[in-house]
Structure 1
Amino acid sequence: MCSARGGSPSLDRNGLQKLLYGDVKATFGLSAQPTVRVIKKVVDAYSTLATQARAGLLGNTTSRRYRKAMGSPVAFRPEAAQPFDDRCLSWQTDTRTVSIWTVDGRMRGVRYTGAADQLKLLAEYRKGESDLVQRGGKWFLFATCEVPEPEASEPVDFIGVDRGIVNLAPTSDGMNYQGRGLARYRSWCARKRAELQKRQTRSATRRLSRRAKKEHRHATHVNHKISKEIVSNAQRTGRGIAVEELGGIGERVRLRRNQRGTLSSWPFHQLGQHLAYKARQAGVAFLEVDAAYTSQRCPGCGHTAKANRPTRDRFCCRRCGLAGPADVVAGVNVRDRTRSAWVFVTMPVPAPA
């Protein structure tokens, strides 16, 4: 039933189901399918824990966090998300109702609503499990939709996007999606968090949790707006989108102590994810390229030097004199680098000899 891989235990679903199916069904008076779903949820929880341990997300094996996580049983909160398959939760998209199995019997004709585009996707492409979630006293259903992606068209050129902190997404076209408003909002949230943390009361803890969720929603909304506009521009002009590959930037960059919080709350990864999936949905080519020296290289003569960027906002080539906004120049370098990389991406695979 249990196995150990990489020092972390994992559960065998079939073995656990054979062992506990009868007891769980009889003890709680469940029917067959809900019993199977209960066991699967337990197995999934422990599998996630084992994956986190193997990936080092819980620290090393001697850390306090690791010992606490691996030495205690997984607890399930009453308000936690509950997954349902099509047997336990069925959708009637024509009447916008669902039928949900509960321990007290099946609830039929439960109405739901959503945005017009969401309802259309739900009716056409819903597939697989649905999650029932309670947030802020309201109930939500999260459904999985498998939307077919159109084949990416051959781009006539690329829009280079340089993701940053002060300027969230300057492009090679000269568009500048500034992040100063988001930075000011997050600084204000940080001050409020500090005030609430000093109180050390249950009420303050609840308010901290609500404020963190609100801050996350705000940043997500900003990233959605920026990515939607960039993808729409690329689709309208027949171009692709190019961004810097910034994986592991937290380990590569050394920052002063007062800068670490800014980097850790920097939503560049989420912005890249939004650009990628929106581009796929729109049939727009999307490519990540090496970010090395894009802010120091002159797109005119190719001269690369740290002195080319005398200030954070200004670029001035020491060889040819080309000058301009530093982030826009970086976007141009990303675009130029992608033009070269795209040739190799689309190169046909040679036939085996």
Structure 2
Amino acid sequence: MKIVTQVKLIPKADQAAALRSTLRTVNEAANWVSGVAFERSVPREYELRKHTYAELKAQGLGAQAAQHVIKKTRDAYTTLKANIKAGNLGKPASKRRRKAESKPIVFRPEAAQPYDDRCLSWQYDQQTVSIWTTAGRLRGVRFACSPDALRMLREHRKGESDLIERDGAFYLIAVCDIPEPEVYEPAGFVGVDLGIVNIATASTGYRAAGRGLNRHRKRQLDLRKKLQAKGTKSAKRLLKKPSRKEARHTANVNHIISKTIVTTAERTGSGIALEDLTGIRSRVRLRKDQRTSLHSWSFHQLGQYIEYKAKRAGVPLVYVDPAYTSQQCSECGHIDRKNRVDQATFACRSCGALMHADDNASHNIGRMAKTVWTAGRESRVPAIP
């Protein structure tokens, strides 16, 4: 499996200037390539290379850098096409989709630039890198990371690394290819119900309340409103910091929750069952005052964290259809919309079972996972001689 490891570069003043100039140059070049791809409707990387490679070389880019600029641009259009096909940008007549289709893709001056082993080499013992720039090859650029990250890089780094600039600091995001352990046969499944009031509720009894995270989001939202109303240059500059702070805080919370769930499943020899919530934001209709909470809900990120942690531990993971999981009684199977009394209370109208609504849903998800796992695994019937 592939995971990414981030390290922070600690360049000298002249090295930092060279790295910054390089990112500006390659992203300006990527914007020019993007314009060519949009004008000519070039569908494939090879054809785009015929129209742009010679000009990029004439602009002073190295052969590998030019190739990466072209590939980065082509990948961006591939991603845009996939998002349009999946409906992530709305219906054909929607304003967002028309805007995305009507102009070339634009790259930020500090956007990531990929490097392969010809343009970037690592010296793990010295904790330095040698990296290509438009000013020439920079050698001995120091980097900082945790001991675990350094061991991960030394043992498993493979493929490309991305150079990015964030808040004036430079980072390398390296791809590590880790062997996946064999997935074991689960004794049962831990059902996980994802929500906003309670971020995650597991059928084991574990519940991650969202009260603290939601309070943090509200504080950041109120701060953004004040800064937007002020409208000064300093206010706009400060607007960037709360968003990144909120994203880091949310990611940290999701890492803690996902680690707890995966560790519990691994210790008990169980699998993990999650709801397939694809497209839920477009399906659900809410009042205007509830939309911010829905669109701030980071269920996809939490699901990704659980998925990759489960893969690293060899824990089986399945996705189930979330339909009626909140209306069906986990005791008798009776489905009724009125079973869900309120957000927190579930009272079955058939058997009288009374429990927390999220606990009930998590038990339903865990039970459904057994059926999905049995249907999806390979047949164990002996072959006919």
| TM-score of the aligned structures, taking structure 2 as reference length | 0.82
1:93 deviates by 2.3
* Counterpart residue number, 2:253: 222
Q: Which runs of 5+ in 1 are unaligned?
A: none
Which segment drifts farther, 303-312 or 62-71?
62-71
* Counterpart residue number, 2:24: none
- Cα distance in 2 for residues equivalent to 1:42 and 1:337: 42
Distance 1:8 1:208, change over 3 A: farther
1:348 deviates by 1.1
Provide, for residues 131-182 of structure 1, a one-character-per-residue CA deviation record: whole Å limited to 9, x for no partner: 1111122111000111111111001111111111101111111111100111
- Cα distance in 2 for residues equivalent to 1:235 and 1:169: 18
* Counterpart residue number, 1:26: 58
Which of these residues, 235, 244, 263, is aligned with residue 232 of structure 1?
263
Distance 1:340 1:201, change over 3 A: same
Q: Which runs of 5+ in 2 are unaligned?
A: 1-32
* Counterpart residue number, 2:208: 177
* Counterpart residue number, 1:325: 356
3-state secondary structure, aligned to 2:175: strand
Which of these residues, 205, 217, 235, is aligned with residue 186 of structure 1?
217
- Cα distance in 2 for residues equivalent to 1:268 and 1:68: 27
* Counterpart residue number, 1:39: 70
Provide, for residues 313-333 of structure 1, a one-character-per-residue CA deviation record: whole Å limited to 9, x for no partner: 112222222211111111111
Letter aligned with residue 79 of structure 1 = E
* Counterpart residue number, 1:9: 41
* Counterpart residue number, 1:298: 329
* Counterpart residue number, 1:257: 288
* Counterpart residue number, 1:136: 167
1:263 deviates by 0.6
Provide, for residues 201-244 of structure 1, a one-character-per-residue CA deviation record: whole Å limited to 9, x for no partner: 22222222221121111111111100001101111111111112
- Cα distance in 2 for residues equivalent to 1:249 and 1:59: 13
1:8 deviates by 9.7
* Counterpart residue number, 1:118: 149
1:291 deviates by 1.1
Distance 1:313 1:75, change over 3 A: closer
1:61 deviates by 6.5
Letter aligned with residue 320 of structure 2 = V
More relative contact order in 1 or in 2 (CA 8 Å, sep 6+)? 2
Number of residue pairs matched? 348
1:24 deviates by 2.9
- Cα distance in 1 for residues equivalent to 2:337 and 2:171: 51
Which of these residues, 308, 317, 329, is aligned with residue 339 of structure 2?
308
* Counterpart residue number, 1:153: 184
- Cα distance in 2 for residues equivalent to 1:215 and 1:188: 10
Q: CA RMSD in A?
A: 2.7
Distance 1:109 1:157, change over 3 A: same
Which segment drifts farther, 110-119 or 67-76?
67-76
Distance 1:292 1:74, change over 3 A: closer
1:58 deviates by 5.3
- Cα distance in 2 for residues equivalent to 1:52 and 1:84: 26
**Contact conserved, 2:276 with 2:320, CA < 8 A, in 1?**
yes
- Cα distance in 2 for residues equivalent to 1:31 and 1:221: 39
Which of these residues, 132, 135, 155, is aligned with residue 104 of structure 1?
135
Letter aligned with residue 262 of structure 1 = S
3-state secondary structure, aligned to 2:126: coil
3-state secondary structure, aligned to 1:242: strand
3-state secondary structure, aligned to 1:100: strand
3-state secondary structure, aligned to 1:293: coil
Which of these residues, 237, 247, 266, is aligned with residue 278 of structure 2?
247
3-state secondary structure, aligned to 1:128: strand
* Counterpart residue number, 2:22: none
Residue 266 (str. 1) matches residue 297 (str. 2): yes
1:191 deviates by 1.1
**Contact conserved, 2:42 with 2:48, CA < 8 A, in 1?**
no
**Contact conserved, 1:132 with 1:139, CA < 8 A, in 2?**
yes
**Contact conserved, 1:8 with 1:53, CA < 8 A, in 2?**
no
* Counterpart residue number, 2:5: none
Residue 162 (str. 1) matches residue 188 (str. 2): no
- Cα distance in 2 for residues equivalent to 1:340 and 1:67: 42
* Counterpart residue number, 2:236: 205
Q: Percent identity?
A: 50
